[in-house]
Amino acid sequence: MSEAFTPNERTRVVREPHRGVYDRESIYKILDEGFVCHVGFAVEGQPYVIPTMYARVGEAIYFHGSGASRMLRGVSSGIAVCVTVTLVDGLVLARSVFNHSMNYRSVVALGKAVLVDVPGEKVEALRAFTEKILPGRWEEARQPSEKELKATSILRLALTEVSAKMRTGPVEDDAEDYALKVWAGIVPLRMVADAAIRDERCDAGIAVPEYVAEWRR
């Protein structure tokens, strides 16, 4: 398999093309770091963009399909979607309002999402979701029952038409604005996990598992 996605007329970054990224490693890293994707699809001309959790497994991403799956009933060929994942890394405070920005890494994936109906694949997708929430969780929590599996809609999008875009680095101001007496710089942002809070109905005799206590982001 090639190490980069080949951009086509739908996925080539046109605006600020130097920020376009197509190599699999960078794209998978963004997908694996993100927690939420936004799934865009159109129904009778009305676009919907629904946030949901997801997980990447190999060359595909899986996401919960409660919204999109309604439209998918009986449509075995799938539904056209645009899935985006966004990580915000910093606030870019320029000297001019016009040049304010954010440092970010984002992925856009296009294609047809299909309903996963093979039970084994559904279980694998649920395992990937659970392990994405917190590695180690799948083995401790109760596994899904047949009834729960049936009630869960999962969609798979093969990763074929994919692009990433990244902004990194300092403020970029217009040459004449560097002389302005305005503070300028970057405010880095990151997602952090605070100490875990025990559920009030969780037996105090159950120790916080290591994979929870020691998890850092």
Ligand X SMILES: Cc1cc2nc3c(=O)[nH]c(=O)nc-3n(C[C@H](O)[C@H](O)[C@H](O)COP(=O)(O)OP(=O)(O)OC[C@H]3O[C@@H](n4cnc5c(N)ncnc54)[C@H](O)[C@@H]3O)c2cc1C
Compute the distance between CA of residue 56 and CA of residue 17 in angstroms, rounded to an integer. 26
Compute the distance between CA of residue 27 and CA of residue 105 in angstroms, rounded to an integer. 9
Q: Which of 35, 24, 3 is nearest to 159 (CA)?
A: 24
Smallest gap from residue 217 Cβ to ligand X (A): 19
Tell me: does residue 39 bind ligand X (CB under 6 A): no
Closer to ligand X by CB, 107 or 116: give it: 107
Count of chain residues binding ligand X (CB under 6 A): 16
Tell me: does residue 153 bind ligand X (CB under 6 A): no
Q: Which of 72, 107, 154, 157 binds ligand X (CB under 6 A)?
A: 107
**In 10 A of CB 201, how many CB atoms?**
5
Half-sphere exposure of residue 135, counting CA atoms within 13 Å on the CB side? 6
Question: Is there a contact between 49 and 43 (Cβ–Cβ < 8 Å)?
Answer: no
Smallest gap from residue 118 Cβ to ligand X (A): 30
Tell me: does residue 86 bind ligand X (CB under 6 A): yes
Tell me what percent of the chain is helix, strand and coil, each rounded to the nearest 5. 25, 35, 40
Closer to ligand X by CB, 108 or 115: give it: 108
Smallest gap from residue 180 Cβ to ligand X (A): 21
Residues near ligand X, by CB under 6 A: 10-15, 86, 88, 102, 104, 106-108, 163-165
